[in-house]
């Protein structure tokens, strides 16, 4: 293996470890010293590569972005646009938050709370990435309105706000209170919130195409309060 | 003023300052050294009082609890039980998160994310206090079901989950993205979520008693998607 490629592999391994540490102890908790200890690399080598704590933090955020894009964004983009894709985005996101992508729960939720009061490039990058995802949800709802999956009176920003809220809440409730029901509550609230703004065509689009994972079976279960 | 009383006054002033610092920089960011600098007290004096960083952190959490009880819990308890009180709890909580109680946004949201991966007495206290509030919301919904303000099929835990999610989301969106519309979105989503599970009696209870602040005028506006 050429030297450059080997270097890249090592770097990826270091960053994967760093993102796990950061999800538990916060970005500020991951110093070059601690990362050296956790990976068996030399402090000098890591310092030579990253240069500063801030550069290391930016690299960690970038690695978390890559994981999110891989596990949540890419699979959603393969689903039919409009309502089915909105449900897939939501479902993939819940799976990712619940799953083992990050040991300490959603990296972005933890890092947002940590950096919202600390202006600088790390905060700017976090705001841009998390803002992008909320914007994507809103954009997809808007598309759903245009193709007739959602009613014309639907306020895309409000629906996106609610959907985004449920997943962040589930992450919070699970991480702090150990509440394992929270993910199922997030799924059910998402489903009935989407249903409230959906048209008959929208509901049919999910049912007929069967593109949404079984767990989010819009249209198959009667909601008591729908 | 007796010496003991003067000491208590000074301590209160120090804790009020500490809770503000913690809301911006996190609990870990408030060391005895930094607090001494910010308040003009001696490090020795603060150390003699708090004894350890952990004791200081627990005192800061306790001070934040006192503020929350004062601004959110106490005024809600004076409102008629059931649906009107659920709406008042939600409205007072939004005002508190939006207002100037904490410079860096909701203290508990920030501290939860900071400590969810750090077992110990601080995490335990945070989980117990934030868990208590979510439980109070659920309990009040349950009461509303019993007195006929909410439909009998209402799942109290789900309604409480959604209401809690909207306020935490608004805090997140405002603190990280500077999104000022988020509070209004939280109010509207709360209103229409409550309406979805409410009975005619429940809606009437708010209208007739006029106990809910004007901003949350359940029953006066037709929801397009209600």
Angle between helices A32-39 and A53-68 (to 10 degrees): 60
> What pLDDT does residue A192 have?
95
Asked if B164's CB is within 8 angstroms of A188's CB, the reply is no
Whether the CB-CB separation of A82 and A140 falls below 8 Å is answered with: yes
Domains of chain A: 65-209 (1.10.357.10)
Is some CB atom of chain A closer than 8 A to the CB atom of B195? no
Nearest CA in chain A to B129: A177
State pLDDT tens for residues B93-126. 999 999 877 877 788 988 888 898 889 999 999 9
Reported as a pLDDT band with limits 50, 70 and 90, residue A6 is confident
> What pLDDT does residue A181 have?
94
Phi/psi region, residue B217 (left: phi>0; alpha: psi -120 to 50; beta: rest), is: beta
Mean per-residue pLDDT of chain B? 88
B30, two tokens: 């408030």
Q: Considering only CA atoms, which of B129, B140, B153 is closest in space to residue B88?
A: B140
Is some CB atom of chain A closer than 8 A to the CB atom of B11? no
Rounded distance, CA A15 to CA B159, Å?
A: 40
Reported as a pLDDT band with limits 50, 70 and 90, residue A223 is very low
Asked if B162's CB is within 8 angstroms of A127's CB, the reply is no
Picking from A123, A157, A168, the nearest residue to B169 by CB comes out as A168
Whether the CB-CB separation of A63 and A18 falls below 8 Å is answered with: yes
Mean pLDDT of B170-195: 94
pTM of the shown model? 0.87
Mutate to test the interface with B, among A176, A188, A223 (most CBs of B within 10 A): A176
Angle between helices B107-115 and B121-146 (to 10 degrees): 130
Asked if A225's CB is within 8 angstroms of B153's CB, the reply is yes
Mean pLDDT of A81-106: 90
> What pLDDT does residue B219 have?
43
> What pLDDT does residue A209 have?
55
Distance of CA A59 to the CA centre of its chain: 17
Q: Considering only CA atoms, which of B108, B119, B128 is closest in space to residue B175?
A: B108
Contacts of B105 in chain A (CB under 8 A): 116-117
Is some CB atom of chain A closer than 8 A to the CB atom of B214? no
Reported as a pLDDT band with limits 50, 70 and 90, residue B211 is very low
B170, two tokens: 């608004």
B198 forms beta bridges with: B150
Phi/psi region, residue A148 (left: phi>0; alpha: psi -120 to 50; beta: rest), is: left
Is some CB atom of chain B closer than 8 A to the CB atom of A140? no
> What pLDDT does residue B14 have?
92
Residues for chain A: how many in total? 226
CB neighbourhood size of A26 (10 A): 22
Which residues numbered 58-97 in B keep a CB inside 8 Å of some CB on A?
none
Q: Considering only CA atoms, which of A183, A125, A131, A181 is closest in space to residue A161?
A: A131
A221 phi/psi in degrees, rounded to 5:
-115, 140
A193 pLDDT higher than 80: yes
Mean per-residue pLDDT of chain A? 88
Which residues numbered 106-135 in A keep a CB inside 8 Å of some CB on B?
109-110, 112-118, 123, 126-127, 130-131, 134
Whether the CB-CB separation of B114 and A114 falls below 8 Å is answered with: yes
Q: Sign of the C-alpha dihedral, residues A34, A40, A45, A46? A: negative
ipTM score for this prediction: 0.85
More confident residue, B162 or A106: B162
**Cα separation values, B99 from B102, B162, B171, Å:** 8, 22, 11
Contacts of B93 in chain A (CB under 8 A): none
Rounded distance, CA B61 to CA B23, Å?
A: 11
Mean pLDDT of A147-153: 97
The 3 state secondary structure assigned to chain A is CCHHHHHHHHHHHHHHHHHHHHHHHCHHHCCHHHHHHHHCCCHHHHHHHHCCHHHHHHHHHHHHHHHHHHHHHHHHHCCCCCHHHHHHHHHHHHHHHHCCCCCCCCHHHHHHHHHCCCCCHHHHHHHHHHHHHHHHHHHHHHHHHHCCCECCCCCHHHHHHHHHHHHHHHHHHHHHHCCCCHHHHHHHHHHHHHHHHECHHHHHHHHHHCCCCCCCCCCCCCCCCC
Reported as a pLDDT band with limits 50, 70 and 90, residue A1 is low
**Cα separation values, A126 from A8, A108, A174, A214, B194, Å:** 24, 7, 22, 32, 33
State pLDDT tens for residues A111-126. 888 898 889 999 999 9
Reported as a pLDDT band with limits 50, 70 and 90, residue A208 is low
């Amino acid at each position: 293996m050429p030297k450059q490629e080997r270097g890249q592999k090592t770097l990826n391994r270091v960053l994967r470890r760093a993102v796990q540490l950061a999800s538990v102890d916060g970005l500020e908790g991951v110093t070059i010293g601690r990362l050296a200890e956790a990976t068996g690399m030399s402090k000098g080598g890591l310092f030579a590569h990253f240069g500063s704590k801030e550069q290391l933090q930016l690299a960690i955020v970038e690695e978390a972005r890559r994981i999110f894009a891989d596990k949540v964004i890419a699979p959603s983009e393969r689903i039919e646009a409009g309502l089915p894709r909105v449900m897939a985005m939501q479902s993939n996101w819940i799976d990712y938050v619940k799953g083992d992508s990050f040991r300490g729960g959603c990296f972005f939720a933890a890092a947002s709370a940590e950096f919202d009061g600390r202006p600088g490039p790390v905060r700017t990058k976090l705001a841009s990435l998390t803002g992008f995802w909320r914007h994507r949800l809103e954009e997809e709802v808007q598309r759903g309105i245009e193709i007739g999956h959602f009613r014309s009176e639907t306020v895309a920003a409000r629906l996106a706000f609610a959907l985004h809220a449920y997943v962040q809440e589930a992450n919070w409730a699970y991480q702090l209170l150990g509440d394992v029901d929270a993910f199922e509550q997030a799924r059910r609230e998402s489903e009935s919130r989407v249903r409230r703004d959906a048209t008959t065509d929208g509901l049919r689009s999910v049912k007929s195409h069967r593109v949404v994972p079984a767990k989010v079976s819009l249209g198959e279960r009667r909601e008591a309060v729908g």
